[in-house]
Chain A
Amino acid sequence: MKLLLWILLIPIQDEGLLEKLEREISAVVRKVRPSVVSLEIRTSESGRTIQLSGVVYRREGFLLTDAGAVSGAQSIRVTLGDGRTLESKVIGADAKTGVAVLRVGAADLVPATLGRSADLPSGAFTIAVGNSYGLRGSSSPGTLAGIDRSVRVLGRRFDRMLQLTTPAHPGDCGAFVADSRGRLIGLVHSSMGTEEESEEADVLRDWFGHRSPRGGTITFAVPIETIQFVADRIIKHGRMVRGWIGVSARTSDSGVELLRVEFGGPAKRAGLARGDVIVAWGGDPVRDVGALQSKVERVEEACRVKIVVLRESRRSEVDLRVELEPEGK
């Protein structure tokens, strides 16, 4: 009898679950939308306009968007979530991470609640809210498909990116990527997938009847940890400021191995060479290239640090001067 009752209740239970899911997604979109802005950028090179998305970072007028889009901008018009339209100026843009900070003359904005992408498990729900093809507040749910991706866009490499199944369309660059509680975990950066199919490929398909497999698109987003680090530095200094030693490195069994040492850079001047392995930094052991990169980049003023280097099984202490990364690097 109980089994029969349970079977009869299944459709009702399922419907309730879906409705609950709908309500949850709807609530997240409602929470996020006031913090999403639409940007219209007039470029100085052609005088034409491009449209994309942005997010309110701080109540007193600071906005986040994509750095590539604002380079060479002549004017930037921002439409806020409440419909107001304001002129904006670029405070700073970091080409290395793709994060730009803008400011508008308003102090009553609704800032995004910040989350943490590092805490999310693979498969976590994500919802992007942006301006697909100029349609303001467009939302698309998906999941977190991967973290720590390296992506090449416009010939430049971007590290530590989030990979999402959440669809993104032209106009969504800079869109708000929310977790299941509506907290900002990333900014839409770029996408890869079937939408890249060209007219030429379509011609071949029409002629020869050949249909290539067409998968879904992948969306990449700048993680909130990177956004927060870069945006706070730009707001504090008026430009991006980070430490730099001029190396390319990777994690190895014993520490961090140098793959390349830049000519004339701080590491080269300190005597470091390709193949050296950094095993300690400022007295702390070094095990992961990401952690070492964070330590270096968090430097705000040039300073000296003692490191321990392994070269051909011999350990030696090196006095390394960490400098600020040259602008335009």
Chain B
Amino acid sequence: MNCDDFREILALYVGGECDEDERIVVEAHLAVCSECSREVEEHREARAALLQLREESPRTETVWKGVRHRLFPIRTLGTDWLVRAAAVLVVGVAIGFLGVMIAHRDPAPAAASGARPLIGRGAGVSTPGNAPRSRFVDSSQDSEFPYEHERRKTTSPRRDGGFYLPRAESAGSGVDRDF
């Protein structure tokens, strides 16, 4: 590998973004290459300057406080507490309502969904272990498949008991290959 190859990742190295293997290779190269070492120093100086710039910036909350006082003069507690109490009451009632709805749900769908996790519990079939609870996983960051049919929300794979069949999080006609 030559200096051009190393220059591609020197900024990552300074930012601590390299993995362990890359770090070792880069440090071995820096020990013998003054040009790349100089470049690393420049990266470090630029990084330090950026950090300093960030620290010297006015804190946004301080700025906002000044603006807010001018735009919305402080009101006395006259009617404010009434609004707050009403909001708390509404939220409380909503939570209570949702709780009652969940508690009184028809058990049939729950039983049906209980038979559907990745590692399922079969109706009438003895099951070792506990049924895993599903949770959402967002796979929207996946960008490898150009013609992707993607399920954004899928049950999380777990193997803590039961019958095994992993769920595909996404599928497509992959045109690229890693080898």
Q: Which residues of A contact B (CB under 8 A)?
A: 41, 43, 46, 48-52, 66, 68-69, 131-135, 148-155, 157, 159, 161, 163, 168-173, 188-192, 195-200, 202-203, 205-207, 218, 220, 243-245, 247-251, 259, 263-264, 268-269, 289-290, 292-293, 296-297
The 23 listed contacts between A and B (C-beta, < 8 Å) are A50-B161, A69-B164, A131-B163, A132-B163, A134-B125, A152-B169, A153-B157, A169-B165, A170-B164, A173-B164, A191-B167, A196-B167, A198-B134, A206-B106, A218-B168, A220-B168, A247-B178, A263-B8, A264-B21, A289-B177, A292-B179, A293-B177, A293-B179
**Which of B22, B157, B170, B176 has the most chain A CB within a 10 Å cutoff?**
B176
The CA-CA distance from A190 to B155 in the complex, in Å, is 13
Give the chain B neighbours of A66 by CB distance below 8 A: 164, 166
Identify which of residues 144-179 in chain B touch chain A, using a CB-to-CB cut-off of 8 Å.
Answer: 144-145, 151, 153-155, 157, 159-179
Tell me whether B99 is interfacial, beta carbon within 8 Å.
no
Chain B contact-residue range equals 35 or more
Closest chain B residue to A188, Cβ basis: B165
Q: Are A244 and B179 in contact (CB under 8 A)?
A: yes
Tell me whether B27 is interfacial, beta carbon within 8 Å.
no
Tell me whether B9 is interfacial, beta carbon within 8 Å.
yes
The CA-CA distance from A296 to B160 in the complex, in Å, is 37
Give the chain B neighbours of A200 by CB distance below 8 A: 134, 136
Q: Are B102 and A203 in contact (CB under 8 A)?
A: yes
Identify which of residues 122-157 in chain B touch chain A, using a CB-to-CB cut-off of 8 Å.
Answer: 122, 125-126, 128-129, 133-134, 136, 139, 142, 144-145, 151, 153-155, 157
Q: Are A152 and B168 in contact (CB under 8 A)?
A: yes
Give the chain A neighbours of B134 by CB distance below 8 A: 198-200
The CA-CA distance from A150 to B175 in the complex, in Å, is 9
Tell me whether B10 is interfacial, beta carbon within 8 Å.
no
Give the chain A neighbours of B125 by CB distance below 8 A: 133-135
Q: A69-B164, A152-B169, A157-B144 are in contact. Are A170 and B118 (CB under 8 A)?
A: yes
The 6 closest A-B pairs by CB, nearest first: A150-B174, A133-B122, A171-B163, A170-B120, A170-B163, A192-B168
Give the chain B neighbours of A132 by CB distance below 8 A: 122, 163
Q: A150-B145, A203-B102 are in contact. Are A192 and B176 (CB under 8 A)?
A: no
Q: Are B116 and A148 in contact (CB under 8 A)?
A: no
Tell me whether B63 is interfacial, beta carbon within 8 Å.
no
Add 15 more A-B contacts to A150-B145, A155-B169, A200-B136 (CB < 8 A).
A69-B164, A134-B163, A150-B173, A151-B168, A152-B144, A152-B170, A153-B168, A154-B157, A159-B174, A170-B163, A195-B116, A197-B113, A218-B171, A251-B175, A289-B177
**Which of A132, A171, A243 has the most chain B CB within a 10 Å cutoff?**
A171
CB distance from A213 to the nearest CB of B (A): 13
Closest chain A residue to B175, Cβ basis: A250
The 8 Å CB contact of A168, one of B112, B145, B165, B170, is: B165
CB distance from A182 to the nearest CB of B (A): 23
Give the chain B neighbours of A293 by CB distance below 8 A: 177, 179
Closest chain A residue to B167, Cβ basis: A196
Tell me whether B56 is interfacial, beta carbon within 8 Å.
no
Give the chain B neighbours of A151 by CB distance below 8 A: 168, 170-171
Q: Are A248 and B166 in contact (CB under 8 A)?
A: no
Q: Are A135 and B153 in contact (CB under 8 A)?
A: no
The CA-CA distance from A177 to B111 in the complex, in Å, is 30
Q: Are A133 and B116 in contact (CB under 8 A)?
A: no
Q: A198-B136, A206-B109 are in contact. Are A51 and B163 (CB under 8 A)?
A: yes
CB distance from B3 to the nearest CB of A (A): 13
Give the chain A neighbours of B110 by CB distance below 8 A: 199, 202
The CA-CA distance from A62 to B60 in the complex, in Å, is 66
Q: Are B176 and A259 in contact (CB under 8 A)?
A: yes
Q: Are B165 and A249 in contact (CB under 8 A)?
A: no
Tell me whether B80 is interfacial, beta carbon within 8 Å.
no
Give the chain A neighbours of B178 by CB distance below 8 A: 157, 247-248
The 8 Å CB contact of A46, one of B113, B160, B169, B170, is: B160
Q: A133-B120, A248-B177 are in contact. Are A154 and B106 (CB under 8 A)?
A: no
The CA-CA distance from A259 to B126 in the complex, in Å, is 49
The 8 Å CB contact of A191, one of B22, B126, B168, is: B168
Give the chain A neighbours of B102 by CB distance below 8 A: 203
Give the chain B neighbours of A248 by CB distance below 8 A: 176-178
Give the chain B neighbours of A269 by CB distance below 8 A: 1
Q: A46-B160, A48-B128, A195-B116 are in contact. Are A247 and B165 (CB under 8 A)?
A: no
Type the 1/0 row for B28-48, where 1 means its CB is closer than 8 Å to any CB of A. Answer: 000000000000000000000
Give the chain B neighbours of A153 by CB distance below 8 A: 157, 166-169
